[in-house]
Every structure is written in C-alpha cells, then in structure tokens.
Amino acid sequence: MHIHSIAFVAADTKIAQDAMYRLKHRYGHVSPDTADVIVALGGDGFMLETLHRYMGRKVPIYGMNRGTVGFLMNEFREMDLPERIAEAQTVELHPLQMEAHTMQGESMCALAINEVSLLRETRQAAKLRIKIDGVERLAELVCDGALVCTPAGSTAYNLSAHGPILPMGSGLMALTPISPFRPRRWRGALLPHGAEVVFDVQDPQKRPVSAVADYTEVRDVSRVIIREDSNMKIKLLFDPEHNLEERILKEQFVE
C-alpha cells in the first residue's frame, strides 16, 4: 500500500493523546476525510468507535494499542510507521445490519461490527422464537438473551457467553444463547454469513427484551432481523507478524 497522507485519531486518555501529539509532529497530519489511511490510537473500544465513525469512507484503518484490550490493535511503535503501514496485511470485514421492530410499531436499523444481542429487560427470562432464512429452527428459547456475531466479534461478548471463536474468512456467523434455561443442551449454531436470522419475542409485555447493535440499543422489541450488510466493507490493517487470524488462533489456546 502506497501512503501519501495519514490521519491520526486517539482515545480521550493521556497516553493516547500524548502518542498522537508525537506522531503528528513526526509524520504530519491531515483530516480523516481526506487521508489515505487512518491511524487509531487506543484500545479495542476506541477502535470500534473509529470503525463506526469512518465506515462510510471505506478508508483503511491501522490501529496501535494505547489502551487496555488491544485485540484489534497493532503494537505501538513510533518509528517507521509509513513502512509498517505499507507492509501491513488487509483484513476485510462486513458489518451486521440489525432491523429492530418495537411493540409500539416503530422500527430502527443499525450496523454492528461485533455483534447484535438481545437481552431481557427485567427479572423475567426472555422467550425467543428463532427463524433462519424463513425456516423456524427453534420454537422457544428461554434465556437471558441471544446474540449473532461476526468473526471479528467472536472473541468479545460471544466468547464470554461460551460461543465459538470464528476464524477470519470463515464465511460464518455465530448464533449464541446467553444463559439458556430451555432447551438446556442447546449451545447455539454456526450459520453461513449470508443467512438471515429472525428473532420473534414471545409475550413481550410480560417479558420485555432490548436489542443492541454495538452501541445502538432499541428497547421493547417484538422482532429483530439480522443479516450481513455485504455492501458495506471495512478494511483493517495488521502487521504481518501480528495479524488478526493469528490472534484468533492464539486466543483459543489461552490457559
């Protein structure tokens, strides 16, 4: 990749802001709206914010870890940044699109890079009916909730809910229950990335459910439709020695 201009963005922490100041002084800086590449300084949370903010620009994003969790970030080093970016490997991601319908008859759409999750709002367990590509696969899931995640999001909330880690490029999504009560043995499903998942909330007045697509929450949903947005493409850049596929593989052998 040939780089003419770099934009730097940073989390609102001293360590990230100090790093951005030094990098701007060393390499110069242009607006993210005109840059060839955006360098994000922070942790995974800030990277997720950056991906959402600049998703429509289709500009590659190179992260360097100046936060706590840095699964999506490269190691921070000030030297040789243009050369590192030029040699970086590109990982392309497609976000999930959530279409949420509420009990009040309203609807809202949002994109998720990690996952779309449904969660009970009260002490009452949620009851969900699940359809895949128009076919009912589970008549009733009694649970705290459920989620659908991308490979990039499979090491986040999905992993905490005991869902599988998905390699990048696997062409899969994970459907994972959250604290399932019935059926007890059901641990979720692996779905092709082009599948459409529909959750219908049973008895929503008594058992209200909210839906969350990364940062966007919709409360009191009656139906949630989830599918991959194949028209939206996100480009992440990783150092060859520390690429995302290797990190996902290593995560599965953490003691």
- pLDDT of res. 254: 67
Asked whether 9 and 51 are in contact (CB, 8 A), the reply is no
Residue type, 245: E
Helix, strand or coil, per DSSP, at residue 105: coil
Mean pLDDT value across residues 215-239 = 95
Q: State the pLDDT confidence band at 216, using cuts at 50, 70 and 90.
A: very high
158 among annotated binding-site residues: yes
Share of the chain above pLDDT 90, in %: 81
Q: Is 154 annotated as a binding residue?
A: no
Can you give the pLDDT at residue 243? Answer: 67
Q: Could you tell me which CATH number the domain at 6-93+233-251 has?
A: 3.40.50.10330
User: 28 Cβ partners below 8 Å, 6+ apart?
Assistant: 5, 6
Choice among 2-6, 12-16, 133-137, 210-214 with the minimum mean pLDDT: 2-6
Which pTM does this prediction carry?
Answer: 0.87
pLDDT recorded at residue 196? 99
Give one DSSP letter per residue of 219-237, joined into a string.
-SEEEEEEEE-TT--EEEE
Count how many residues are written for the chain: 255
The predicted pLDDT at position 239 comes to 92
The answer on whether 114 is annotated among ligand-binding residues is yes
Place 4 in a pLDDT band, splitting at 50, 70 and 90.
Answer: confident
Active-site residue, from 44, 133, 220, 229: 44
At residue 35, the pLDDT reads: 95
Say whether pLDDT at 255 is over 70.
Answer: no
Q: What is the mean pLDDT of the chain?
A: 93
Known binder of ligand: residue 229?
no
**Residue 200 and residue 129 in contact, taking contact as beta carbons nearer than 8 Å:** yes
Residue 159 labeled ligand binder: yes
Phi, psi of 54, rounded to the nearest 5 degrees: -115, 20
Please tell me if the domain spanning 6-93+233-251 has the same topology as the one spanning 96-228.
no
CATH superfamily of 96-228: Probable inorganic polyphosphate/atp-NAD kinase; domain 2 (2.60.200.30)
Residue 83: count of CB within 10 angstroms of its CB: 10
Q: How far lies 61's CA from each of 35, 55, 64, 158, 252, in Å?
A: 10, 10, 10, 24, 25
Q: Does the pLDDT of residue 25 top 70, yes or no? A: yes
Averaged pLDDT, 21-45: 95
User: In sequence order, what E strands does 94-186 have?
Assistant: 96-102, 107-112, 115-120, 126-132, 135-143, 145-149, 172-178
Q: Per residue in 56-74, pLDDT tens? A: 888 999 999 998 877 889 9
Q: What are phi and psi of 48, to 5 degrees?
A: -60, -40
Of the two residues 92 and 217, the one the predictor is more confident about is 217
157 is in an annotated binding site: yes
Is 229 one of the catalytic residues? no
Domain boundaries, the chain: 6-93+233-251, 96-228
Per-residue model confidence (pLDDT) at position 215: 87
